Every structure is written in structure tokens, then in C-alpha cells.
Amino acid sequence: MEKINFNPELYKDYISRINSVLDYIELNLSEKLTLEELAKVANFSRFHFHRIFYAFLGETLSQFIWRVRLSKAADLLVYNRKKTITEIALDCGFSSSSSFSKSFNNYFHTSPSAWRKEKFLKSNLSKLESNHEKERNGSSLYNFDVTNFKRRMNNMMISSEVKIKDFPETTVAYVRYIGPYKGDENLFEGLFNKLCSWAGPKGLLGKENADFLIIYHDNPDVTEENKLRMSVCLIISEDTEVNGDIGKMTIPEGKYVSAKFELDSTEYEQAWNYVYGQWLPQSGYVPDDRPCFEFYPTKEECKKEGKKLVYIYVPIKQK
């Protein structure tokens, strides 16, 4: 039998094609995504693409699309309360509210309306509105609740600088990772090193605006750990060529909240919770559908030893 040698370059090419499909799906969730269409994006035959996708992701194409749509809908139900369940269902690619409700119940074991109510009641936004109502009614219980609420808020990490920014359309090169990542410093270091090893010989490091980003494609509250997608990115010019497992994508322009922090590896969750749990509910904005990310500027230095300077960017729009 002829011995088959593993070819790392061909393997990287497959990763690149699969990544392009994941990016395309995320940008077109409201559309009817067919196997034929996505096979063309990957530049594989329809027959082979389905098998290759399953081999790399561990789930079928339809399972992946179904899961990402439901995860997106779960977020919108909580953070965009002005949209009806039917509107959210259509925005996330479901044909009707009934098919959406059935799928949602099968996955989360609760209805969309019950999910919205339960998650809202647990959120800081609910607590803020509830406390404001008690203040208007002069309830003595209000004073006790506000004290506890303020104490909890004071214990949260506060950003030293929060701004609303118009982020321009930006092209990035990226290394994609799928799986658990929380608090794994070695994982992040390895991904950054891999990206820099590719960018360094091309003279892409140290250029003006050649900053790093980490894009989180899934909400860890609703997506299984082993299926979380994350991309470590470097800002590049639009005409930069990539290959193999180094992908390229465009972050769409739009309005973001930018919150500045100096963090060690144990504090990132706290910082994200501040943006979503304290700043956002009081801001007059709701999260938009564009990706959120961490921005690591190369021209600024962290002033605290053992910590990293990071800006958390969350896409926003008016309620």
C-alpha cells in the first residue's frame, strides 16, 4: 500500500475554506443558506463539502447553522426587547415564529417568551427599572434594594474611559480557534505567536494602525464551550494576501461603545460584565448585530505591571 504523507499546506488550505464559510454564514444568517451556495463559497463540490465540514466541525452544516441562529436569537431576545419574537425569528433566518419557537424549545428547553422574561428579570437592566419604580412609589424596600445593588455595582470593575466611536470598515487577517478558551493564557499566546510568525516576514508588524483584535463570534452563555468560535486578528490593508489557515475578513463599519481597561487574565469576564451589565442598560443603546471584540493598541502601553491594556468594543444602536 502506498504511504500517504501529511501535507500541512493542503491542510491549511482546507481550514481557510472552512473559515470562509463560517464567516459567510455569520454575515448572512437572515438568508436562506443552501448547501450548494456554501459549497461554492468553500470552492468544494457539493458532495465533498458536506463531509469535509462535518469532519472539521464535528456537526453537520445544518446543525451548525441551526445552532448559530438560535444562539443569536437568544441574545436578541434579551438585549433587544423592542423587537417582537416574530421579528427576531425572521432576522435569524427562521421561516416563521412557530418554527422558531419549536426549535428554540428543543434546544433551550423553554419558550422564547419565557427565556426573554427569565433572562430579563435576572439582568441588571431589570433591576435598574425595578428600583426606579420603587423609588417613585416611595417603598421602604427600595432603600434596602438600592443599597445592595449599589454595593454590587461598586464591586464591579469600572472602565477608566468609555466612549462612543464610529469604527471604520476594517480588514483583518486572523487565526481561528474553536473550543474553550476562558483564562487560557497559553492558548492566546500561541494564537498571537502564530499570527505574528506569519505577519513578521511580510513586514506587517509595526505599521501604522497595525493593531490586534480578538473577535468573539459566540455568546459563552448560550453556546457550548467546545463550540465557541474566536478569532485572533491583525489589522491589515485590504490588498494583503493570505493563505492556508490565516484567513481574511472585513469588520463592517458602525457605531461602537469602547471601554478601556487594564486587565490580567482573571479579570476579562468582569470587564465584559461591566459593559453589558452596568454601562449598556443605562446608556440608551442596545447591542447591534455586528461582532464584538477586544482591541489591543500597539501604540499605547499599559501602566500597571502584570496587566494588559485592552479596549472592549460592543456594537450598539439606538433603542
At 119-137, the pLDDT tens digits run 877 665 554 444 444 333 4
pLDDT of residue 21: 94
Instruction: Round to whole Å and give the CA distance between 117 and 77.
Output: 9
First-to-final CA distance of the chain: 65
Indicate the pLDDT class of residue 270, thresholds 50, 70 and 90: confident
Residue 90 φ/ψ, nearest 5 degrees: -70, -40
Q: Which DSSP string corresponds to 20-84?
A: HHHHHHHHTTTS---HHHHHHHHTS-HHHHHHHHHHHHSS-HHHHHHHHHHHHHHHHHHH-TTS-
pLDDT of residue 7: 64
Asked if 169 and 154 touch (Cβ cutoff 8 Å), the reply is no
Query: What's the CATH number for 8-117?
Result: 1.10.10.60
Residue keyed to cell 424596600: 141
pLDDT of residue 113: 95
Asked if 195 and 232 touch (Cβ cutoff 8 Å), the reply is yes
Q: Please check the confidence at residue 9 and state whether its pLDDT lies above 50.
A: yes
206 versus 6: which is more confidently predicted? 206
281 DSSP assignment: G
Q: Pick the closest to residue 257 from 217, 230, 284 (CA basis).
A: 284
182 DSSP assignment: T
Lowest mean pLDDT among 18-32, 113-127, 200-214, 300-314: 113-127
Of the candidate CATH numbers 3.40.50.300, 3.30.70.1070, 3.20.80.10, 3.30.1360.120, the domain formed by 162-318 belongs to 3.20.80.10
Mean pLDDT of 25-51: 87
Q: Which residues pair with 309 in a beta bridge?
A: 262
Indicate the pLDDT class of residue 173, thresholds 50, 70 and 90: very high
Q: Pick the closest to residue 249 from 302, 284, 293 (CA basis).
A: 293
Q: How far is CA 67 from CA 26, 72, 159, 185, in A?
A: 12, 9, 33, 28
Lowest mean pLDDT among 48-52, 72-76, 164-168: 48-52
For 30, residues 6+ apart whose C-beta sits below 8 A from its C-beta are: 90, 91, 92, 93
pLDDT of residue 50: 79
At 64-101, the pLDDT tens digits run 999 999 999 999 999 888 899 999 999 999 999 999 99
Q: Please check the confidence at residue 242 and state whether its pLDDT lies above 70.
A: yes
Q: Pick the closest to residue 67 from 92, 97, 37 (CA basis).
A: 92
Q: How far is CA 138 from CA 129, 132, 143, 191, 280, in A?
A: 14, 10, 9, 54, 26
Q: How many residues does the chain have?
A: 319
Indicate the pLDDT class of residue 156, thresholds 50, 70 and 90: low
Mean pLDDT of 140-154: 37
11 versus 61: which is more confidently predicted? 61
Global pTM?
A: 0.67
